[in-house]
Amino acid sequence: MKIFLIISTLIATILSYKWTPENDDKVFNVFQQFIKAYNRKYIVGELDARHTKFRENWAELSDKLANKRSKYFHGVTQFFDMTPQEFARKQLTLQITPEEEIKASQAKDNFDHGRNLQTLPAEVDFEALGKVTPIKNQGSCGSCWAFATMGILESQYLILNRTATATSINFSEQYQMNCDYNNYSCQGGSVYSALWWLRYNGGTVQNEDAFSYLIKNQVCSKSSTRFPITVNNFYVVSQSEYSMKYALYMYGPIASALNAGLLQTYKGGIIDFENYAPGTDCPNTTADVNHAVIIVGYGTENGVDYWKVKNSWGPTWGEKGYFRIARGKNMCGIQWFNYYVNVSLK
């Protein structure tokens, strides 16, 4: 609770004034609060450089807050002492493979849009249904691909095993990072490649108790402790938000991807813009996609259709670890790469 109070104070302070050379002492005091809130421990000589980055982000955020075109909330996050380039290098490491891009562009639907979409409910939330595990934190490791992969498998287990609870299971991202030779552990990877590896290497996953998350690369080793779930197959959703909506409702949470640059300062609300301009607001080509996430629901608020998305940056980030993003606009490229799985329980 204390960290939320400190962060709320930081946001209120930004709203009250912009950075100028005259008020740099005030900004430095807020920077010290940031260090305390996020338990930052800098090496010798690093403090001044981090303060400079914090100050630059402060000035940019002040401009964003004054820009009424964006319709969501910006603020101080755990990434506020990083440059956008450093943030991307450490957190946005999804690697779309050439094969994946071809498969996604060629994916076809097996249902009729007009007929099937008329029967879908106006709102779906698998988290509220208890079919989504608690928010995790990938830390300073480019392992979003592993968290998105394990996350949709955890949801499938909860959907099939009605006696299981969201807090009773925890699949190991670390094991996938250690042993999946298609991907690069903390240096990035692809959900498509991870699902392919699971499908064609026995389809089994390991328990977190056997392979705890260490936020670093490790040598692959085996364990007799395996979770009783097998990946039979996985499917690429066609590049349409109509298809995403249907797949989500019919098959459960889906792994997705987007350009996540603006999430560096996201605090809440639906990511949307007045007169959305992809080139300046949030890039949305296939080449711009750089972060893997899990779509767990959809709905409408104040006339704005949105996706509810599970992230892997901890429960104090965003909306208790989630974010919402406008639906039907290919916002930030979210319609390009989406997957669901078919699993069975042993």
Which residues participate in catalysis according to the annotation?
144, 291, 311
Q: At what angle do helices 47-66 and 24-37 cross, to 10 degrees?
A: 110
Tell me if residue 244 falls in helix, strand or coil: helix
Segment (H or E) for 144: helix 144-160
Contacts of 158 (CB under 8 A, 6+ apart): 130, 131, 132, 133, 164, 165, 166, 169
Q: 115-118 long-range contacts, Cβ below 8 Å, gap at least 24?
A: 116/246, 117/242, 117/245, 117/246
- Report whether 232 contacts 342 (CB < 8 A): yes
143: nearest Cα among 175, 95, 177, 98:
177
Asked if 289 and 331 count as a contact pair (C-beta separation under 8 A), the reply is: no
Q: Cα separation of 260 and 21, whole Å?
A: 31
298 sits in which H/E element: strand 291-301
CA distances 323 to 55, 64, 111, Å, are: 25, 18, 29
**Residue 63 in tokens:** 């401009």
Other Cβ atoms closer than 10 A to 205: 25
- Residue 210 has a CB neighbour count (10 Å cut-off) of 16
